[in-house]
Amino acid sequence: MSKQRTTQPITTGTSVIGLVYDGGVMIAADTLLSYGSMAKSFNTPRLYNIEDRILLGASGEYSDLQEIVAKVKALALQETTNSMESIYVDRKLPAKSLWNYLRAVMYQKRSKMNPYWNDVVVAGWDDQADKPFLGTVDKLGTTLQENLVATGFGGYLAMPLLREKWRNDLSEGEARALLEDAMKVLFYRDCRASARIQLAKCTSDGCIVSEPYELDHSNGWNAPSMIRAAGDLDGDGGW
């Protein structure tokens, strides 16, 4: 019996963005799922805390993300319980190891012409190097480890702002403000983005995912770029 593979995503989430700051790593995503161009679900989290040591988020097909998260949780449990060391040591799956595992999984799936339609962000604390880790894996199995990452439209709309404002000595508060500004830009410019977002951070003390909350965007539509006449034609063809 022949099988038909998914040829394009159906129910999707948009951008996930992240950055490294002084003492940790922070990522952000909105909670909107879209069915094509229709807003389907306004309160669906896409950021996950794995074993209190790793943060995972993804854009793209939500059902594929659910399967990825199930695989990751099973791997983390196996790493914790199946080792002889686990009797004596609190053994946890490192973020970089998970990142490499997902690289292999995504590459295998695309090689079988049955890809997971996701771009995944992995963040955590590297205990061996004693520093934060941040990386991405796309649906082809291509990896990137950087201080700034963005998936989906965020790579075009949020990344320029992040690159302009980021410093390696950002405080946690500055990191949060920068990510919120970037998420506002995405809300205004990406028709499949929402002002309801989640933030998640990971430090040497562990990882936390916030409850969803609304960005303050009450004055955004009064920005000059929103009300200026198109082509400066004194109102002809303007908004």
Give me the CATH number covering residue 106: 3.60.20.10
| Stretch 205-214: mean pLDDT | 96
Whether residue 239 lies inside any domain: the answer is no
Q: What's the Cα-to-Cα distance from 207 to each of 74, 108, 200, 219, 230, rounded to whole Å?
A: 19, 29, 7, 33, 45
| 106: in domain | yes
Q: How confident is the model at residue 223 (pLDDT cuts 50, 70, 90)?
A: low
Residues 6+ apart with CB under 8 A from 193: 14, 15, 30, 32, 153, 183, 186, 187
Mean of pLDDT over the chain: 88
pLDDT in tens, 98-126: 999 999 999 999 999 899 999 999 999 99
CB atoms within 10 A of CB 19: 26
Flag whether 238 is in a domain: no
User: Whole domain around residue 227: which residue ranges?
Assistant: 11-232
CB 98 within 8 A of CB 109: no
Instruction: With a cut of 90, say whether residue 222 has pLDDT above it.
Output: no
Q: What is the mean pLDDT of residues 118-142?
A: 95
161 domain residue, yes or no: yes
Give residue 38's pLDDT.
93
In three-state secondary structure terms, 104 is helix
Handedness of CA 30, 71, 206, 158 (dihedral sign): negative
Mean pLDDT of 155-162: 96
Which tokens is 179 given?
Answer: 């990510």
At residue 237, the pLDDT reads: 46
pLDDT(141) > 90: yes
Which range (44-53, 83-92, 150-159, 210-219) has the least confidence? 83-92
- Model confidence over 1-43: pLDDT tens digits? 556 566 788 999 999 999 999 999 999 999 999 999 899 999 9
Where do the DSSP E strands lie in the chain?
A: 11-13, 16-21, 24-30, 33-35, 38-41, 47-50, 54-61, 118-126, 131-137, 143-145, 148-150, 196-203, 206-209, 213-214
**Which pLDDT value is given to residue 234?**
55
Over 90: is that where the pLDDT of 226 sits? no
d(C-alpha 15, C-alpha 97), whole Å: 23
Alpha-carbon distances, residue 18 vs 8, 213, 215 (angstroms):
26, 17, 17
Helix (H, G, I), strand (E, B) or coil at 94: coil
Place of tokens 């989640």: 198
Share of the chain above pLDDT 90, in %: 72
Around Cβ 113, how many Cβ atoms within 10 Å? 7
Average pLDDT over residues 57-79: 92
pTM of the prediction?
Answer: 0.87
Quickly state the pLDDT bin for 91 (edges 50, 70, 90): low
At residue 40, the 3 state secondary structure works out as strand
Total number of domains constituting the chain: 1
Domain contains 5? no
Average pLDDT of the segment spanning 126-136: 92
Q: Is 136 annotated as catalytic? A: no
Note the Cα 201 to chain centre separation in Å: 12
